[in-house]
Structure 1
């Protein structure tokens, strides 16, 4: 079932068709210097440290770019700008968690806390943002422009629409109760994904 589902996704890429997720109303955003990054909406119970840790940046940097005078006071719904690190040129882990063997040879399944953000392993373009791929559920596929593709399947939420460029480290989805299925492919052939990721 999963192999057939992936064939469907790759066929969508080949024909240039995709189904974007429903998009929420654009939030109002404060003026930010010309940095590469994305926005995070503060949820109930979140702290600045927790948000910074989830994106792999330090609290001082997050407070500085958002001009926060008090790092202990965050409002639910507040928009924080998350600066992205410089492009590394290699694939990075989309999610930190417990790795499991995948039913698809070469792929990897990653289990983590529900709600964890899944980030772009490399910069690229969103080729597919699908709501219901059989056997996979919500799936994002990134085209990296050099023949390589990365697949993020089993998402709880898709956070990017099809057709937009994304930078390495930008959130593309969030995790639910099932593990993330992650693959790196060269054209239609799956590669040994773990071999292309940095050692943990």
Structure 2
């Protein structure tokens, strides 16, 4: 960000003109703070392409404070002999045409205003269409979202130039009040957002501990926008996950499979509820099993969390397998490992129970990559 003092010094360095021409009359324009090429072109009544070409500008057409831009004006047309005055019948026709043009312009303006109003106030919109003269900083201030988060959500690179008509995704935030026992990892896991991103949004040192009572903004991570011209797949509506039939799950044995699985089954039993996204999202699978059945590590890893999570998971174990991969084992009646311990694949991490939001004796099992839930069935061996 450029300090305000530099804007002041740059302004003082500019020559003082005795008079300033109207935007549509000036032939040279000196760039002022916050102006963009599109905004200057619109006010001058010329196209941005013609303005860029006249000044040898290249994409992304960034202008700098104090820069002098030549405004391409068309040469005055040669003077023609005065045409005979129109008769009285032609005058109303011209007036009617001018009236129609004015009405069309008013209608277009009304339509544009209605579209902006329908989008909702800036602090609530999730997609913003860039208007002429807008900058990323101004959009972020109006939306009340840090500029760096909008830049990251839309894959923008310095100097973060935006163009008129561009659609920007606005990452909305949630809030979390830190409670006793919370850690950066437990907060990160709860919201499926990497702790580094949470710390960045709150200006915190990722290595520093959180404090009870502290209010944190939880940024919403968005997938990067598709490349220009790429089609966006539309997901078909899915039925409620509880309507799916129970699936028989084999015990985690060395049974040959048709593909290489990243993880092994942590427990044997039918799936009561599967993975789902959307309104009825479910970030893992719930596997039914008798109480006190051993729950085994799906792969070798390090215990990142081992204890009670009161809101939904009950007794919970989270394993870090490296390369951004984590597995979670919830609803346990008992945790049998300690935080920080190294466990081998197949080693016991707890016992099946009915704590948290369990609907009976079952294991809630999750797989996450870089903080985002992944369908466990895609990473487990297929049933024979």
Q: Does 1:96 align with 2:254?
A: no
Q: Higher RCO, 1 or 2 (CA under 8 Å, sep at least 6)?
A: 1
Structure whose residues are more often strand by fraction: 1
- Which residue in the other structure is 1:61 paired with? none
1:75-154 matched pairs, under 5 angstroms: 90-102=262-274, 104-154=281-331
- Which residue in the other structure is 1:180 paired with? 363
Provide the secondary structure at the position in 1 that maps to 2:377: helix
- Gapped runs of 5+ residues in structure 1? 18-53, 58-87
CA distance in 2, matches of 1:105, 1:180: 14
Provide the secondary structure at the position in 1 that maps to 2:338: coil
Provide the secondary structure at the position in 2 that maps to 1:8: helix
Change over 3 Å in CA distance of 1:135–1:105 after alignment to 2: closer
Quote how far apart the aligned CAs of 1:137 are.
Answer: 0.4
Aligned match for 1:164, one of 337, 341, 352: 341
CA distance in 2, matches of 1:7, 1:127: 9
CA distance in 1, matches of 2:262, 2:352: 23
Quote how far apart the aligned CAs of 1:11 are.
Answer: 6.3
Aligned match for 1:189, one of 354, 358, 372: 372
Moved over 2 A (4+): 4-9, 11-17, 54-57, 102-106
Taking only aligned residues, the RMSD between alpha carbons, in angstroms, comes to 3.2
The C-alpha deviation readout for 1:69-99, integer Å capped at 9, x for no partner, is: xxxxxxxxxxxxxxxxxxx972000000111
**What is the count of residue pairs matched by the alignment?**
131
- Which residue in the other structure is 1:10 paired with? 189
CA contact (8 A) 1:133 1:139 kept: no
CA distance in 1, matches of 2:283, 2:312: 17
CA distance in 2, matches of 1:118, 1:99: 15
- Gapped runs of 5+ residues in structure 2? 1-175, 177-181, 196-205, 210-250, 255-259, 275-279, 355-360
Change over 3 Å in CA distance of 1:164–1:89 after alignment to 2: farther
Provide the secondary structure at the position in 2 that maps to 1:93: coil
- Which residue in the other structure is 1:31 paired with? none
Provide the secondary structure at the position in 2 that maps to 1:144: strand
CA distance in 2, matches of 1:7, 1:125: 15
Change over 3 Å in CA distance of 1:11–1:96 after alignment to 2: closer
CA contact (8 A) 2:261 2:379 kept: no
Change over 3 Å in CA distance of 1:7–1:111 after alignment to 2: same
Quote how far apart the aligned CAs of 1:105 are.
Answer: 3.2
Quote how far apart the aligned CAs of 1:127 are.
Answer: 0.3
Change over 3 Å in CA distance of 1:181–1:134 after alignment to 2: same
Structure whose residues are more often helix by fraction: 2
Q: Give TM-score, length-normalised by structure 2.
A: 0.31
CA contact (8 A) 1:136 1:154 kept: yes
Quote how far apart the aligned CAs of 1:8 are.
Answer: 3.2
CA distance in 2, matches of 1:172, 1:134: 21
Quote how far apart the aligned CAs of 1:133 are.
Answer: 3.4
